[in-house]
Structure 1
Amino acid sequence: MEPTELTRLADYFGAVTRAVMPENRPASLLITHLLAERPTFVRAANEVSDLRAVLPKPRSIHPAARADVGRDYRVDSLTRQMFSDPEAGLSYLESRAAGREVVLFDVGGYFAPVLDVLADRFSGRLLGVIEDTENGHQRYAAADKLPCPVVSAARSPLKEPEDFLVGESVVFSTEALTRSRGDIFHGRGALVIGFGKVGSSIARLLHAKGVHVTVYDIDPVRRAQALSKGFTVAEDRNAALGAAGLVLCATGAMSLRGDDFPRLRQDAYVATVTSSEDELDLDRLPACYETSSAGEHITRYRSPGGHLFYLLNDGDAVNFLHGASVGPFIYLVQGELLAGVRMLARGDLGPGMHEVPDVDRATIANLWLNHYNR
């Protein structure tokens, strides 16, 4: 980023942190995509909380951003295994914030498997979780009974611009990779799995490029929405997999399981909008498939019988290959995450799913407009 852009970003986050500063500043752990512009948000998170550790998502770490953040904050390696075992998760939290009131910033529901133990046995007090993504929202909402508050920005109106632009960046990166092999979208036909905010954006953008788009979603309401917007809606998922030359996975959950891959059309491309561990069950892919490089960031999977398909960016979010840039609109959502700290720091929210109040969203939107509507 240019110095003037960094100054404007720092000014914006300074205004947000002043507007949402909690009376009592809790400790925090921050899971985040550590992209090029992210250090400024990390510093803002430390303004409204005592940031005890930054845990970058492993497939989205910008080296310069990692070095920048590492100069001022502890940066720890993040894996799903850290928070899949209750004892390991509890031990880690104790090592970073023993005895403190703590807020957990999450991206993708990492803390969900051990939340009961953290809330019950932590030596301090777990004030709650702030979740950024639809995938994470679903993980927490699926719990029988949450032991603490979870403030989710996943379905906020402030996230809608980001979701649309994420769809745009996914289409851009997917097309860039297919074109690197001399292939184009036209004539292939696309299957979009998941017709949420990102999936619907992908479908619209592909349609605008002249691609025939079929949509599959487990939610009948979303299927009806897709049909009303002129898309073909798959009634038979397996048949749709076998017909599409391009499969874009946008559920935020498991889109393709192991036995789905042999059903893919010959020479199909597969891309996702989030990490492979969330969207693709590659561990259950039949062992007979062999892999080889089919170009930069393109892996060829071939069975002994000759069936093959191409996986883009190893199944991780394809748009991260080109920075996953959605411009300054991402700062709206980050502002809402900071507002979530004040909600949790008050300590009066009951267990369950919560959203930032509209009045706080309006404040953040006004501050953003003052800095970026120029």
Structure 2
Amino acid sequence: MEAFERARLDSYFARLGTHFTTPERPASFLITHLLPERPAFVRAVAKQTDLRAVLPKPKSIHAPAKREVEQVAQCDALSRDLFENAEVALDYIEARAAGAPLVLLDVGGYFAPALDTLCDRFSGRILGVVEDTENGHKRYAERDKLPCPVVSVARSPLKDPEDFLVGQSVVFSTEALMRGRGDIMHGRPALVIGFGKLGSSIARLLHAKGVQVTVYDIDPVRRTQALSQGFTVARDREAALTGAGLVLCATGAVSLRGDDFPHLRNGAYVATVTSSEDELDLGGLPDVYTRSPDGDHVTRYQTTGHYFYLLNGGNAVNFLHGASVGPFIYLVQAEILAGVRMLARGDLGSGMHDVDAKDRAFIAATWLNYFNR
């Protein structure tokens, strides 16, 4: 990023920080992808809150960005295990933020398993969670009762540009890895599992590239949407897997279980938009399969009479090429700051909440002033 771009980005966040600041300045924990543009957002969070720790998602850490962030806040290792065990999570939070009013900034529902314990037993006060992703939104929303407010930006209209462009970057990275092996998408029927914001973006771009696309989604509403947009909609997932030369998983949940993989067509490529632990049950893959590297970030799974290729170890394939969505990501980051202000006031009831439409309009207008050039 050029110096003038950094200055413009810092000015943008300073303007938003002034608007969304409150007299209260809670402590915070920030889970985030540490991509090259992310330090500016981390600095904004650190100005709005007492940032106790940044927990970078392990498969998306840009080393120079991490070094820059470490000048602002402590960086700790992130894993699902850290918050799956409520006692471990409580000890960690206490060690970093004992007694403080605390906001948890999440990407993917990491805090969800320990949230009840944290709200009940933390020596400070959990003001709430701000969640960024659809996968995380589902993790919180599916609970019968939440012990604190959760502000979700996952379904905000300000996130639509990011979701669309992430879908584009997934297709770009998938095609790049295939071409690295001397292969191409054309002539390979594609199956897109999940027709949400990301899946629909992926399906549309594949179609625009001349690829034959079939869609599978468990939601009948989304199946009708896919059909209305001209896609073939699979009634039988097993048959769809058998016919696909490329499978792109975009559900935010488990798309392929262990017993699904043997149904893949020989030589099929499999790619995902999230982490392997969310989309793929690789642990359930029959033991008869062996794996071996076969090109950059491509793993060949093989047994007698059957083989397929997994891209980037089953993790989000677009992070291999930076996963950049340009300045549109700053819309979502700004809405996260708005969510922090909502929680800092301390007057939200437990349950799921959205950022106010007036705040979204202010963010959009500010963004246009800085980046529509």
TM-score (norm 1): 0.99
Report the counterpart of residue 327 of structure 1 in structure 2: 326
Report the counterpart of residue 194 of structure 2 in structure 1: 194
Paired residues of 1:195 and 1:216 also in contact (CA < 8 A): yes
CA offset at residue 60 of structure 1? 0.2
Q: Which consecutive segments of 4 or more residues in structure 1 shift more than 6 A?
A: none
Report the counterpart of residue 372 of structure 1 in structure 2: 371
1:162 aligns with 2:173: no
| Amino-acid identity (%) | 71
SS of equivalent to 2:77: coil
SS of equivalent to 1:319: helix
Query: What are the within-5 Å matches in structure 2 for residues 109-188 of structure 1?
Result: 109-188=109-188
Alpha-carbon separation, structure 2, partners of 1:135 and 1:168: 19
Alpha-carbon separation, structure 2, partners of 1:287 and 1:80: 25
Report the counterpart of residue 221 of structure 2 in structure 1: 221
SS of equivalent to 1:295: coil
Paired residues of 2:27 and 2:100 also in contact (CA < 8 A): yes
1:132-172 CA-partner distances (Å, limit 9, x unpaired) = 00000010011111110000000000000000000000000
Alpha-carbon separation, structure 2, partners of 1:306 and 1:21: 62
Report the counterpart of residue 49 of structure 1 in structure 2: 49
1:209-237 CA-partner distances (Å, limit 9, x unpaired) = 00010000111000000000000000000
SS of equivalent to 1:47: helix
Report the counterpart of residue 306 of structure 1 in structure 2: 305
Alpha-carbon separation, structure 2, partners of 1:25 and 1:210: 52
CA offset at residue 286 of structure 1? 1.0
Paired residues of 2:46 and 2:72 also in contact (CA < 8 A): no
Alpha-carbon separation, structure 1, partners of 2:223 and 2:22: 42
Alpha-carbon separation, structure 2, partners of 1:124 and 1:357: 27
1:96-143 CA-partner distances (Å, limit 9, x unpaired) = 111000000000000011111111111100000000000000100111
CA offset at residue 30 of structure 1? 0.2
1:337-363 CA-partner distances (Å, limit 9, x unpaired) = 011011001111111110100000011
1:278-316 CA-partner distances (Å, limit 9, x unpaired) = 11111111111111111000000001x131110001111
Supply the AA of the counterpart residue of 2:36: A
Query: What are the within-5 Å matches in structure 2 for residues 86-125 of structure 1?
Result: 86-125=86-125
Alpha-carbon separation, structure 2, partners of 1:246 and 1:23: 52
Paired residues of 2:331 and 2:363 also in contact (CA < 8 A): yes
Supply the AA of the counterpart residue of 1:170: V
Supply the AA of the counterpart residue of 1:362: A
Report the counterpart of residue 63 of structure 1 in structure 2: 63
Alpha-carbon separation, structure 2, partners of 1:120 and 1:258: 37
Supply the AA of the counterpart residue of 1:344: L
Paired residues of 1:109 and 1:136 also in contact (CA < 8 A): yes
Report the counterpart of residue 33 of structure 1 in structure 2: 33
Paired residues of 2:267 and 2:307 also in contact (CA < 8 A): yes
Unpaired stretches in structure 1, ≥5 consecutive residues:
none
SS of equivalent to 2:294: strand
SS of equivalent to 2:265: coil
1:185-213 CA-partner distances (Å, limit 9, x unpaired) = 11111000000001000000000000010
CA offset at residue 22 of structure 1? 1.9
CA offset at residue 71 of structure 1? 2.1
Report the counterpart of residue 357 of structure 1 in structure 2: 356
Alpha-carbon separation, structure 2, partners of 1:262 and 1:18: 55
SS of equivalent to 1:301: strand
Q: CA RMSD in A?
A: 0.6
